[in-house]
């Protein structure tokens, strides 16, 4: 009997380009009081390089190896990171205060993830499977409420489906999403226990974050609830964010086989500007 061969064609994965006018963004960043004048130029240069890389890397679906899957997830996380970076820059221009802190903590979450992904292809599966724990939590939460918001989920999440998911989580030893663990995996435990924890107050609107809006006089009496840019936060967050983005781009170059010539030139240029900024701060 003649053997029938079935071939599956793979499709190239397309990556959308940012809709932001990066030239306009750069000019607006230059108007932030006290900002190192080289930082906007180099920040935009890093964004352009990262966006170009995301579009240039060849990714195909379905993937045929753990390394290909690693590259796909790394680029997906890079896009998530770029969206966060661009959001921070936009809000920096228009005078947000605590929301810059909230977004920077989100940025760190992405940073820890992509650092793990580019370091170890096996982490991809660990990360993706954390969603199974989240699914189970949602199913269990729906049982606590008699509300139409949960009707559709309750209809789907029968005892059989919920028990099967529980068993899968147990059999595969699926873990919860854990930023602390991910940070420690890549040598960022100190960063997590300092910057990440401090900025968590903004995410949850903890009492500490309100201090950023309040002015008091020498007697400790409240005089003003302000809503103005926090230049100190802007000028500290942007350099730290761009430094982290560069580290991510270096890791993605290694995973995807991207030539590092342009990356290394950009990194050297930004390093010089960072040193100048730190000296003048």
Between helices 38-56 and 231-256, what is the axis angle to 10°?
Answer: 30
CA angle 264, 86, 44 (to 5 degrees): 40
Q: Is residue 40 scored above 80 in pLDDT?
A: yes
Q: Using one digit for the tens of pLDDT, what is the confidence trace for 24-39?
A: 999 998 888 777 788 8
Q: What is the pLDDT of residue 6?
A: 44
The set of residues, in sequence order, having a beta carbon less than 8 Å from that of 10 and lying 6+ positions away, is 60, 61, 62, 64
For 195-217, what is the mean pLDDT? 90
Q: Is residue 5 scored above 50 in pLDDT?
A: no
Q: Using one digit for the tens of pLDDT, what is the confidence trace for 110-121?
A: 999 999 999 999
Q: What six digits make up the tokens of 252?
A: 């993605």
Helix and strand tally (H, E) in the chain? 12, 4
For 261-275, what is the mean pLDDT? 87
């Amino acid at each position: 009997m003649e053997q029938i061969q079935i071939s599956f064609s793979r499709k190239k994965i397309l990556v959308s380009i940012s809709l932001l006018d990066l030239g306009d963004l750069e000019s607006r960043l230059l108007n932030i009081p006290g900002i190192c004048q080289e930082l906007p130029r180099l920040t935009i240069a890093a964004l352009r390089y990262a966006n170009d890389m995301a579009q240039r890397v060849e990714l195909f679906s379905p993937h045929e190896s753990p390394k290909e899957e690693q590259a796909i997830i790394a680029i997906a996380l890079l896009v998530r990171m770029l969206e966060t970076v661009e959001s921070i820059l936009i809000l920096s221009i228009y005078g947000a205060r605590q929301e810059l802190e909230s977004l920077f903590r989100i940025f760190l979450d992405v940073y820890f993830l992509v650092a793990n992904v580019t370091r170890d292809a096996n982490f991809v599966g660990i990360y993706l499977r954390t969603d199974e724990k989240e699914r189970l939590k949602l199913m269990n939460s729906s049982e606590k409420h008699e509300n139409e918001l949960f009707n559709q989920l309750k209809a789907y999440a029968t005892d059989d489906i919920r028990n099967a998911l529980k068993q899968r989580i147990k059999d595969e030893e699926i873990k919860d999403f854990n930023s602390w663990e991910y940070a420690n995996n890549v040598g960022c435990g100190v960063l997590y226990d300092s910057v990440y924890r401090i900025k968590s107050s903004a995410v949850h609107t903890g009492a500490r974050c309100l201090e950023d809006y309040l002015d008091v006089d020498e007697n400790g009496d409240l005089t003003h609830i302000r809503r103005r840019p926090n230049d100190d936060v802007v000028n500290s967050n942007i350099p730290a964010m761009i430094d982290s983005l560069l580290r991510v781009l270096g890791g993605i170059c290694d995973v995807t086989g991207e030539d590092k010539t342009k990356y290394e030139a950009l990194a050297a240029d930004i390093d010089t500007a960072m040193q100048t900024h730190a000296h003048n701060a």
